[in-house]
Amino acid sequence: MAKTLLRSGALTLLLAALVLGAAPARATSIKKEMAYAVDLGKKGLWHEAAHRFRLLLVRAPDHPRLWNDLAVAYEAVGRYDDAHQAYEKAVALMDSPPEEMLANQEAFEVFYRQWKGAEPLPATPATESESP
Protein backbone atom coordinates (compact mmCIF):
# COMPACT_ATOMS: atom_id res chain seq x y z
CA MET A 1 0.00 0.00 0.00
CA ALA A 2 2.83 2.38 0.88
CA LYS A 3 4.52 1.64 -2.45
CA THR A 4 1.28 2.38 -4.31
CA LEU A 5 0.89 5.72 -2.53
CA LEU A 6 4.53 6.54 -3.19
CA ARG A 7 4.13 5.70 -6.88
CA SER A 8 0.91 7.71 -7.21
CA GLY A 9 2.57 10.65 -5.45
CA ALA A 10 5.56 10.44 -7.75
CA LEU A 11 3.26 10.17 -10.75
CA THR A 12 1.36 13.26 -9.60
CA LEU A 13 4.60 15.21 -9.23
CA LEU A 14 5.78 14.04 -12.64
CA LEU A 15 2.52 15.10 -14.30
CA ALA A 16 2.60 18.48 -12.54
CA ALA A 17 6.18 19.05 -13.69
CA LEU A 18 5.27 18.16 -17.26
CA VAL A 19 2.25 20.47 -17.30
CA LEU A 20 4.05 23.38 -15.65
CA GLY A 21 7.13 22.89 -17.79
CA ALA A 22 5.04 22.92 -20.94
CA ALA A 23 3.49 26.33 -20.19
CA PRO A 24 6.51 28.45 -21.25
CA ALA A 25 7.00 26.31 -24.35
CA ARG A 26 3.31 26.69 -25.22
CA ALA A 27 3.54 30.49 -24.79
CA THR A 28 6.59 30.62 -27.07
CA SER A 29 4.81 28.46 -29.62
CA ILE A 30 1.76 30.74 -29.58
CA LYS A 31 3.96 33.82 -30.06
CA LYS A 32 5.71 32.22 -33.03
CA GLU A 33 2.43 31.11 -34.57
CA MET A 34 0.93 34.58 -34.03
CA ALA A 35 3.91 36.14 -35.78
CA TYR A 36 3.46 33.72 -38.68
CA ALA A 37 -0.24 34.58 -38.96
CA VAL A 38 0.59 38.31 -38.90
CA ASP A 39 3.11 37.75 -41.71
CA LEU A 40 0.41 35.96 -43.71
CA GLY A 41 -1.81 39.00 -43.31
CA LYS A 42 0.98 41.34 -44.40
CA LYS A 43 1.28 39.24 -47.55
CA GLY A 44 -2.44 39.70 -48.20
CA LEU A 45 -3.35 36.14 -47.18
CA TRP A 46 -6.04 37.33 -44.78
CA HIS A 47 -8.28 34.25 -44.97
CA GLU A 48 -5.37 32.04 -43.96
CA ALA A 49 -4.33 34.52 -41.24
CA ALA A 50 -7.88 34.53 -39.82
CA HIS A 51 -7.90 30.73 -39.84
CA ARG A 52 -4.61 30.63 -37.93
CA PHE A 53 -5.83 33.18 -35.37
CA ARG A 54 -9.01 31.13 -34.81
CA LEU A 55 -6.92 27.98 -34.24
CA LEU A 56 -4.74 29.83 -31.75
CA LEU A 57 -7.80 31.11 -29.89
CA VAL A 58 -8.84 27.52 -29.24
CA ARG A 59 -5.62 27.18 -27.25
CA ALA A 60 -5.62 30.68 -25.73
CA PRO A 61 -9.23 31.98 -25.68
CA ASP A 62 -8.46 34.86 -23.30
CA HIS A 63 -5.57 36.33 -25.31
CA PRO A 64 -6.62 39.91 -26.21
CA ARG A 65 -3.95 40.40 -28.90
CA LEU A 66 -5.21 37.30 -30.71
CA TRP A 67 -8.76 38.68 -30.67
CA ASN A 68 -7.50 42.04 -31.95
CA ASP A 69 -5.50 40.40 -34.74
CA LEU A 70 -8.46 38.20 -35.67
CA ALA A 71 -10.59 41.35 -35.87
CA VAL A 72 -8.08 42.94 -38.25
CA ALA A 73 -8.12 39.82 -40.43
CA TYR A 74 -11.93 39.69 -40.44
CA GLU A 75 -12.03 43.37 -41.37
CA ALA A 76 -9.65 42.74 -44.27
CA VAL A 77 -11.85 39.99 -45.73
CA GLY A 78 -15.10 41.91 -45.28
CA ARG A 79 -16.48 39.97 -42.29
CA TYR A 80 -17.44 43.18 -40.54
CA ASP A 81 -19.91 41.78 -38.00
CA ASP A 82 -17.32 39.21 -36.92
CA ALA A 83 -14.63 41.92 -36.79
CA HIS A 84 -16.88 44.06 -34.59
CA GLN A 85 -17.37 41.20 -32.12
CA ALA A 86 -13.67 40.31 -32.10
CA TYR A 87 -12.62 43.93 -31.42
CA GLU A 88 -15.10 44.12 -28.55
CA LYS A 89 -13.79 40.85 -27.10
CA ALA A 90 -10.18 42.07 -27.36
CA VAL A 91 -10.86 45.28 -25.48
CA ALA A 92 -13.09 43.56 -22.90
CA LEU A 93 -10.28 41.16 -21.99
CA MET A 94 -7.92 43.96 -20.94
CA ASP A 95 -8.08 46.30 -17.96
CA SER A 96 -6.29 49.03 -19.89
CA PRO A 97 -5.93 48.24 -23.60
CA PRO A 98 -2.92 49.75 -25.40
CA GLU A 99 -3.60 52.91 -27.40
CA GLU A 100 -2.88 51.04 -30.65
CA MET A 101 -5.60 48.50 -29.91
CA LEU A 102 -8.09 51.21 -28.95
CA ALA A 103 -7.23 53.19 -32.09
CA ASN A 104 -7.84 50.09 -34.24
CA GLN A 105 -11.20 49.52 -32.64
CA GLU A 106 -12.28 53.17 -32.77
CA ALA A 107 -11.33 53.54 -36.45
CA PHE A 108 -13.21 50.36 -37.26
CA GLU A 109 -16.27 51.48 -35.25
CA VAL A 110 -16.56 54.66 -37.35
CA PHE A 111 -16.59 52.57 -40.52
CA TYR A 112 -18.82 49.87 -39.01
CA ARG A 113 -21.52 52.31 -37.92
CA GLN A 114 -21.60 53.83 -41.41
CA TRP A 115 -21.68 50.37 -42.99
CA LYS A 116 -24.59 49.37 -40.75
CA GLY A 117 -26.38 52.62 -41.60
CA ALA A 118 -26.25 53.92 -38.03
CA GLU A 119 -25.65 57.48 -37.00
CA PRO A 120 -21.93 58.30 -36.93
CA LEU A 121 -20.26 58.61 -33.57
CA PRO A 122 -19.84 62.18 -32.29
CA ALA A 123 -16.50 63.71 -33.23
CA THR A 124 -13.82 63.81 -30.59
CA PRO A 125 -11.70 66.97 -30.19
CA ALA A 126 -8.76 65.21 -31.90
CA THR A 127 -10.95 64.24 -34.85
CA GLU A 128 -12.42 67.73 -35.18
CA SER A 129 -8.99 69.38 -35.36
CA GLU A 130 -7.92 67.01 -38.13
CA SER A 131 -10.78 67.96 -40.46
CA PRO A 132 -10.07 70.55 -43.20
Q: Is 121 helix (H, G, I), strand (E, B) or coil?
A: coil
Please report whether residue 9 resides in a domain.
no
Domain count of the fold of the chain: 1
Higher per-residue confidence, 93 vs 95: 93
Position 73 in a domain: yes
Residue 15 placed within a domain = no
Q: Which residues contact 80 (CB under 8 A, 6 or more apart)?
A: 74, 111, 112, 115
* CATH number assigned to the domain comprising residue 83: 1.25.40
Query: Would you call 132 helix, strand, or coil by DSSP?
Result: coil
For 72, the domain range is 50-122
- In a domain? residue 6: no
- Within a domain: 41: no
Domain assignment of residue 36, yes or no: no
Residue 59 lies in a domain: yes
User: Quick check: is 116 in a domain?
Assistant: yes
Q: What is the pLDDT of residues 10-44, one digit of tens each?
A: 444 444 443 444 445 566 899 999 999 999 999 99
Question: Does pTM surpass 0.85?
Answer: no
Identify the band that residue 123 occupies on the pLDDT scale cut at 50, 70 and 90: low
From the list 42, 27, 93, the residue with the least C-alpha distance to 63 is: 93
